[in-house]
Structure 1
């Protein structure tokens, strides 16, 4: 945005004192918008040159006054250039407040966002995972593009944020990136978290997005069927990396671990449970909730397989876990080789554990919720909604019971009738 600055000194003759001295005011104009303040100096109107806006004459008093006015004008221009160089908001009111010392810098959205990201990154591994940090960075980069395209600016004062801003950002994410509703909600929640951080720091006294709701939509969680899981499990890959990725994925299918938790898992997380068997005990990074998972024989076999693996032993790891990006890339290859049309990811393995491995086989949803490390049973219930096979089997069993009861009732009536005839 282009700015035009004008600095004038005007004499207020109407406010002259008893001696006839009129006060001098500094008038600052930015793009035609005015702001004035007294310079705390007075002069007789006949000694004032309205055209030059300075005192007339070469007396010591005139020179001192003119030097003072020159310094004020230079200070205004210096402040103007400073704001311009920093690409900060500029207005006549801001320049006036900078002269009087009343100016409080308007903290901007992107500068506070970057400050938040720096603090978040310092807590990587203790409070925040790498994926969460990357999400903050992605939201920041998309905010920058949004401001450039929609507001023609490189940053925006927090005080200027309103519901229109967040709504426009929501539409921008949908049209510019074509992402789904829940992904958009994640970006909006990141922005709201930064706003709350700004409020805690005292940079803003209200939440401009208070009445905006960021609600997620319930979506079907895809998972592997028993047959699809079996096809991967029984396939032997000649390429070592694919065989290792298969093992890591199957381990997730039989434990329900998320990638971020699997990545940090060590042999120290293995312990003997109440049943004398091996359990995985860890705290979920996402929720800080302790999860305790009894190892199924399939999962135990995979741990045993890599017990003496040099790579795992060097890092005290249970399995050779690569980056999530590489694992998901290799899983696409595995899906194609095994003839599976679904988009397989590491997280789909977690869904498979919740549905195909546990809930479908009658494990109570409360137990599954604890093993998954969920903080609410409602989160786990999302998985239970998609188990059509289990529902079908239970209804089939119920039908058999009802049919059996019906036949018993009919037989009982027949015997009762025969007895009456005999009498």
Structure 2
């Protein structure tokens, strides 16, 4: 069984060609799936797999978007064959089409902005970020290009601003209108009219302030009202949950359907390592060195060394010391919710009642990020110093790390008492 590859099918007389997913998955069985995309021939890396490259090269302004999407397609194809034992070409094509039918690469077309128009400027900046013409101003990746994931929230913020303008019966907002009055009106719109969470509002405000800062630095406007202390991105407690060590063990020991076993094991690896999905889904045996997982994190590009727990060793032993087969994030999140809802796991219960009186089950709150949050919280509850846990999670700021911790004040007080006993004070 060979690894799936992306091939470019083209005619010599045409400047572009169609991109296909090829996968030889046993005997004479061979999947040939049209991804739905065409690309300029010069953007494709011939035999990219032999040189450990990506199929779409950096000459393409959207290479990161394409390569990320094709990687998800390849992982999903492997998951269907290896984990769900699907060996029928027609069914494979059908499942791939269903999974990726809404996929598209949003190519920026904005080349300028309307003077004085805030939303128009935001769209212009966003398009330049996508094309790699604007780099990150602050943070660990300062001076580097934006990654697709980091462009999602600003894009959603622009859409939200367009909807808010329509709600206010306007076409847009001028830079001078972005003041405390705008802030209060937008807050009321999101929280009361649209029923969004405070975390959503905080993200929207953060993006608006970033766009306003960028425009101010470029001399596009002179309005400093967005710096007002009342124009703030409110801090909030994360609504994500963390599992206790006992809950993790129940998931580990439960009898579940064979086709879900690899997802359960990937989830356990996340609980035992604090890795994000973008990292634990792509681990290879070469990432293990002398009892540590040593990788460069996909999101932050920080290098971390994570000691391998005994519990993780028992998971890896099921696969001969290597990692479970990968899958897409969508497939992972759907499946781990199903796993946690099983009676054999015995953990599902009503988590909360929403505004409509509907029951929200605990299992529906489990995602690929729950493992990372659980690791941080459990290490904290065991009394491991914060800075040592941060060396595994890759956090640079303690304030950001502490948002992961799901410990009650009583638990924190008991930890403090334990340390006082150890110190004899």
* TM-score (normalised: structure 2): 0.58
How far does residue 258 in structure 1 lie from its aligned partner after superposition? 2.0
Range with greater deviation from structure 2 (376-385 or 198-207): 376-385
Distance (whole Å) between structure 1 residues aligned to residue 409 and residue 267 of structure 2: 21
CA apart distance, 1:280: 2.3
Whole-Å separation in 2 of the counterparts to 1:299 and 1:128: 33
Can you list the C-alpha shifts for 1:297-351, whole angstroms capped at 9, x where unaligned? 3334445655798xxxxxxxx5544343432222221111023232212222111
Gap runs ≥5 in structure 2: 1-112, 136-140, 350-361
Contact 1:161 1:208 survives alignment (8 Å): yes
Higher relative contact order (CA 8 A, sep 6+): 2
Distance 1:307 1:190 in 2: 46
1:376 to 384, 394, 397: 397
The match for 1:236 among 237, 255, 262 is 255
Q: State the 1:167 CA deviation.
A: 2.1
Q: Paired residue for 1:154?
A: 171
For the residues of structure 2 that align with 1:201 and 1:394, how far apart are their CA atoms? 49
The question of 1:133 aligning with 2:139 is answered no
C-alpha deviation, 1:371, in angstroms: 0.9
Give the gaps of 5 or more residues in structure 1. Answer: 1-103, 310-317, 403-423
Whether contact under 8 Å (2:122, 2:158) holds in the other structure is yes
Per-residue Cα deviation, 1:349-389 (whole angstroms, up to 9, x for no partner): 11111122x22333222210211111122333442743856
Distance 1:271 1:262, change over 3 A: closer
Cα–Cα, structure 1 residues 319 and 136, in superposed 2: closer, same or farther, change >3 Å? farther
Residues 305, 208 of structure 1: alpha-carbon distance in 2 compared, 3 angstrom cutoff: farther
Deviations 1:3-26 (A, max 9, x none): xxxxxxxxxxxxxxxxxxxxxxxx
* Residue among 313, 334, 340 paired with 2:339: 334
Instruction: Show the counterpart of 1:295.
Output: 308
Residues 1:388 and 1:332: Cα distance change in structure 2 (over 3 Å): farther
For residues 51-106 of structure 1, the C-alpha deviation after alignment (integer angstroms, 9 at most, x for no partner) is: xxxxxxxxxxxxxxxxxxxxxxxxxxxxxxxxxxxxxxxxxxxxxxxxxxxxx962
Match of 1:111 in 2: 120
Assess, with a 3 A threshold, how the Cα gap between structure 1 residues 396 and 178 changes in structure 2: closer, same or farther. same
For 1:215, the equivalent position in structure 2 comes to: 234
Q: 1:210 to 1:392 in 2, by over 3 A?
A: closer
Distance 1:208 1:393, change over 3 A: closer
Deviation at 1:198, TM superposition (A): 1.8
Normalising by structure 1, what TM-score? 0.58
Provide the aligned length of Structure 1 versus Structure 2: 284
Which whole-Å CA distance do the structure 2 matches of 1:284 and 1:105 have between them?
36
Tell me what 1:363 maps to: 384
The equivalent of 2:357 in structure 1 is none
8 Å Cα contact 1:258-1:347 kept in structure 2? yes
User: Which is further off, 116-125 or 182-191?
Assistant: 116-125
The answer as to 2:283 corresponding to 1:278 is no
What is the rounded CA distance, in whole Å, between the counterparts of 2:389 and 2:250 in structure 1? 24
After superposition, the C-alpha distances for 1:109-134 in whole angstroms (9 at most, x for unaligned) are: 22221122223334599744443322
Deviations 1:161-200 (A, max 9, x none): 3221122112111123312212210111011111122223
Change (3 A) 1:397 1:202: closer
* CA spacing shift, 1:109–1:324, aligned 2, 3 Å: farther
In 2: Cα distance, 1:224 partner to 1:324 partner: 20
Moved more, 367-376 or 154-163: 154-163
Return the structure number with greater helix share. 1
Q: Which residue of 1 aligns with 2:214?
A: 197
Measured at CA, do residues 187 and 243 of structure 1 come closer, stay the same or move farther in structure 2, by a change above 3 Å? Answer: same
| Cα offset, 1:251, TM superposition | 0.9
CA contact (8 A) 2:273 2:308 kept: yes
In 1: Cα distance, 2:417 partner to 2:394 partner: 30
Cα separation, 1, equivalents of 2:325 and 2:390: 27
Q: Which residue of 1 aligns with 2:161?
A: 143
- Kept after mapping to 1: 8 A contact 2:116/2:175: yes
CA radius of gyration, larger in: 1
